[in-house]
Structure 1
Amino acid sequence: MQSTDLGNKESGKIWHRKPSPATRDGIIVNIIHNTSDYHPKVLRFLNVAFDGTGDCLIAGDHQGNIYVFDLYGNRFNLVQRTAQACTALAFNLRRKSEFLVALADYSIKCFDTVTKELVSWMRGHESSVFSISVHASGKYAITTSSDTAQLWDLDTFQRKRKLNIRQSVGIQKVFFLPLSNTILSCFKDNSIFAWECDTLFCKYQLPAPPESSSILYKVFAVTRDGRILAAGGKSNHLHLWCLEARQLFRIIQMPTKVRAIRHLEFLPDSFDAGSNQVLGVLSQDGIMRFINIQTCKLLFEIGSLDEGISSSVISPHGRYIASIMENGSLNIYSVQALTQEINKPPLPLVKVIEDLPKNKLSSSDLKMKVTSGRVQQPAKSRGSKIQTRILKQDLTGDFESKKNELPDGLSKKRLQILLKGYGEYPTKYRMFIWRSLLQLPENHTAFSSLIDKGTHVTFLNLQKKYPIKSRKLLRVLQRYVLHVKCLVSFFFNSFQNSGLITLELPRMIINWCQHWFEYFPNPPINILSMIENVLAFHDKELLQHFIDHDITSQLYAWPLLETVFSEVLTREEWLKLFDNIFSNHPSFLLMTVVAYNICSRVPLLNCNLKDDFEVTILVLNRSSSDSPASASGLSSLCFHNNITYLRQTVEDMQAEVDQQRVEDEAWYQKQELLRKAEETRREMLLQEEEKIIQQRQRLAAVKRELKVKEMHLQDAARRRFLKLQQDQQEMELRRLDDEIGRKVYMRDREIAATARDLEMRQLELESQKRLYEKNLTENQAAVAKEMRADADAYRRKVDLEEHMFHKLIEAGETQSQKTQKVIKENLAKAEQACLNTDWQIQSLHKQKCDDLQRNKCYQEVAKLLRENRRKEIKILNAMVEQEAKKWKEAEGKEFCLRSAKKASALSDASRKWFLKQEINAAVEHAENPCHEEEPRFQNEQEDSSCLPRTSHLNDSSEMHPSTQISLNRRAVEWDTTEQNLIQKVRNLRQRLTAQARHRCQTPHLLAA
């Protein structure tokens, strides 16, 4: 027994060497599933199911791992992980790659074993599903739980019907009858109902079992043809119901060690036409016993007390049994190995004693004597003894009976008696007996001359017409088919080690295939008519059944004769058959065909179509003894002479020529008879052709009906498929609508979030703007304060100068006080007007410069805001460079400002010095009014060139023209110099303000 551990593998081989199951247990392989984790544990298999072919099975463990085991291809694959235990499985759906699995959450899922994808998900049960039954067509499925059963359409995976019951009465099992349209429902109160699948109309109800053997049914099983229902429960009794008669026809009592029955399963057989006879019974002790329900005999059993079986499933073709053991492993059994002892033929009861090799006896020293006697055989069921013949040798005389004369001292009559007693010849001596019965001449000389000619070119490609795996058999066939073209492969297969005997086998064709080739290439109508006459004599009912269904002897007889039973029998059975054929009259082969049909009459009477006729076990030697020769025309068959080879003498050649002449004369005499027979055959052929035409017409009508039905079915399937596609498209549209709605909702949420972010950004910008405006206002206030301080200093300076100048004027007004007073008033007014005008001009110029600066600043800020996202790094670098340059420029301008302040201080000192000089001169003038007036006036003019506009106090009419022009030019120069200084100071302040503003804007630009 081989053992395979799945482990963590998802695919691999089931067994690594060719399985050889023992007859004792029949186990092909034991499959276990152990995990290789830190704490290893065993994963128990819970359910198993076969597919429709019977070569693949599916199994699931308690963790939801589902494996597919291909017993034909020796492979296993992990097809699904459901993450929960499966409670039921079904693998015989219409789509071969799909399977149904019932899970612990009360749902049913459909998966695909090829794509490993989920096909559908069905819900509706409120308790655990323990049974899944699939219709024979694979279109419907029934899932059963303890409280309800539901009918599903597997094309649309929609629930079609639901069976509800009262809480007091539970459901035991609901399933489809095989190969029918009937649903059988079994309840816990032992009531069993049959329903029509399409209409769910109640067809019948089985009566209650007798009170003497009443048991509560727990498990059920139905034969393949749906006629017998087996039921069992917590008892050792089995009830067999006939569903056609709707009555209990048998009660089987299991052995006393069986106290309860846990599972029932019929074992299919290829030759019982669905009427299964072997029933597997799994009891509480974990042993599954297989019994024959007709003979009530125990055939074999699987499992043991140490290794008990939990559940078991049998493949549809009856070759394998898959059992889940109590330890959680999975065992695969071979039914052929388990039934090998049952199907084994009995041992031969007669042994042949060989002569001593040294004592070679001649034919004159041998004497055969036939006596009767008895040979003890093993006791049979009826306790009878079989009469047989005992062969004894008498070495003192010749043969006593010429009737039994065979070569090698054999007797055909004694061989027949031996064959009748044991049913076959010993395997070791079969070829020797066949050679004796066929009386083959074994002419080795002629055989060698034929073989030396080699292979003909016609048979070089013989393998293409008769493909044979064995190269040895092909060479034998190619060598001997040159000379025996009618020889078939099963004869030289039997004599493959003896080419001479194979070549001499036309003896069989001459005797047992008489009149077969008179209508070649058509079947022998005369032979088939003999078979039909014999069948009419023995079984008129079967022949009438054939006639009613237009089944001719070309269908039920000629295929058996054409292949000589080689396609319906195994090798051992075929050899047994030809043991009897070679030991009897040539008509025995025809009687075998009749016996074969009579023994198969039960399944043949149940067939209504040509395709439904199936083969069955051959039973022989029942019709030959009691069939009169006049009923069938078998008396026309007889043995021909033995095969003889041409002699290498002239006498033999002349005798053959004379015989050929006689045959030619007889041939000419028979031509007229042959012509008449040909006309008769033509008439028969015309009748047969008419029958064939009628059969073809009926077949065409049936094909038309089937075609129309197929078209209707295809149309219905197309409509269902279109509806399914429409539903899927509607589901897809609804999904797309939901997706669009979800995206719109997400977009609205994103827009709202973006709006909120923009509002927060706007607030941040507003706050930054206010902060920048505050900083700008503070900077402007500081600059304005500085300017006001400068202006106040300037005014104080001007006031001081005016005060000193007024003192100078008051000192010079000694002579004409009245004129001086007028001049002072006018000069003061003019000076005040000039001061007011200068202040206004300066104020307007300042406002204009401020406006221009603000406008420029605003433009620069806007430009920076537009370009900050695109040239952030470049602008930042440019700003850093610009800042360095501005600092350098500010330093330069600050230096200029310091120079201007120094120049202004020097100008102030010069003016003060000038005023002091003038005051001194005025004092001197006051003391000496007429002394050096003119030079002083010139010096005054020269010195007054350094004064501002306020120095124009004297009357211009009193001055010389050239002196007036020079004074005006100097005044303009001083005004220009002062304005330039003021403009430079203002520009310097504007640059400093701009730099301070840029410093405040730099973090904002980086953040943006």
Structure 2
Amino acid sequence: QIRASVSDKDLDMYEKWNQDYGSWDIIEKKKKRVLIGAASVGIHHAIFSPSGDKVVTMFKDNEIAVWSFETFYCLYKISIDVGIEAFPSDQESIDVDITLPISQSKFQLMQQPLCFSSDGTLLVIVSIVDSSLFVWKWNEQSLHQQIDIPLFKEANGFNTPIKQAKFIGNTKLIGIVSSIGLFIIVDAETGKLVYKMPKTVLFDFVEFSKDGKFLSGVPSEDPKTIKLMNLKDFIKKKLLNYLRNFGEFPEKYRILIWRFLLRLPENRQPFQSLCDKGLHPAFEKINRKYPIKSYQMIKTLERVLSCLGHWSPLFAECDYFPSFVFPFIYAWPILQTFFASHFSSDEWAVLMDHIISEDPSFIYYLTVAYIRYHRETFLNMKTIQEFNKFHEQSIPTNVKMLLKSAKKIQTSTPTEIDIPKDIIEPFKPIPRSPSAYPLFSNYPVKIVHFQKKVRDKIRREELDFLQRKKVLHELSQLHQDIETDERKWIDYDNKVSTMMDEFWDKLIKDENDHQEKVSKINALETEQRTKLLKNIQKVRQNLVHQSDAFLNKQKDWEFKLDTARASLRETKIVGHEELQKLIDEENEILK
């Protein structure tokens, strides 16, 4: 028996029971590698990882190993009991025989015991012991949860083995077929049962379309045929049955259910293209109508409304459209349309459960039922002001009774006079597209375009008026600035004149003070000169007197000096004579 798995790298991998496992190059049609030793253990199933660089194998002894596709090194083993048992990178290569420990028989030898989610984050391993699934987090390499399936338990208490398990399209939902042909859908993330096929419809094998909308299966009662079914219809019937039984969807899953029933296309790239066009002119003043304190909330509302306005001119011309969009984006406020101002947030959510689940024409029956519900109140109104005030207040209304009345009107309305169904087409979801949203023109184009032209003209005139008003304001501001500058200049000129007057007064005063000081200095100088001359004259007189006295003393000194000199000469003469006499006497003695 041969089975194959293809990776995103254009490589084909095939396997044979009780023989070797090998990889092939699809383009060159050549075998590239062979897993030596696989024949001795026996490979039951092998698949590529989402990235294509790893191979996950389940052996016949129920061991699961993860290999590197480039080198065939065994990276780690997956064990539900103990988690991951890793191998060193230098071991378990293609040149080494593989010997894995044999564990208890835990995984059924089925056609596909392993399957990856489309985004590659989850790996599902099918168990045979208790008819359960093990959801493995591929990136975190850890067990996410074990999903038990009590529906597969037979009356005798034994579990019905799982025959097939596979992810549906790009969702996290798993389609499961039991060995007796029962088909169910389980959410891999939450472990909750999403859908159960009636026991009258049994399958031997199923396959899902890439988008997850259709199921093709081989019926158990007729294996030679293929049955094609729309999965969306099955799940929708299940949800509608739940809504009929309980009256509302679970609050925890309400948004998810709404997204499913509305069949949102998730066209992220086209939506981003509409966002890139910026704020639509029709919603530039939306923050004035909704004075929301949260900056993030008002920006989200502007972005959604602008995208819808750029997509179709109709949404930009509907005055009530922001009030319709508002409750789908933000926390509950009191609004003016779509029953929003007449119910609490919980009641309005229940109302929307039924509006979204029913035909689009149901809104008309709901409106008639609401008018009938408050018939007495409307009949007692006398003025238009009372009517308007009624819609501005939150009037107590029993939602269950209102819905019951609306559905009664819907079912009891004869087909020949069922106007809502005649004027409203059935709900058609926006198709999924990677490039752009489809053209929306299901509205009176001429009227809307005429209204758009009128609004554009009014908007241009308003912009022109605002521009002229701005220019007028700037001119008025300029005139005020000129007047202010003129007043400042006059004040400055007065200050300068005053300063110049003060300067000249001070300069003249300083000049007069200087002249007065000069006069005083001249007078003082004259006085000092006079005193100096007198002192000089007195000094001269003293010098003359002292000079005469000095001359007299000099003469007296000269006379005394002459007398002393004469006396000295006489003394020298006498001394010389006596010295000579002594010398002569000494000479006589010596002789």
TM range (shorter): 0.3 to 0.5
- Superposition TM-score, scaled by structure 2 size: 0.41
- Superposition TM-score, scaled by structure 1 size: 0.25
Between structure 1 and structure 2, the one with the greater Rg is 1
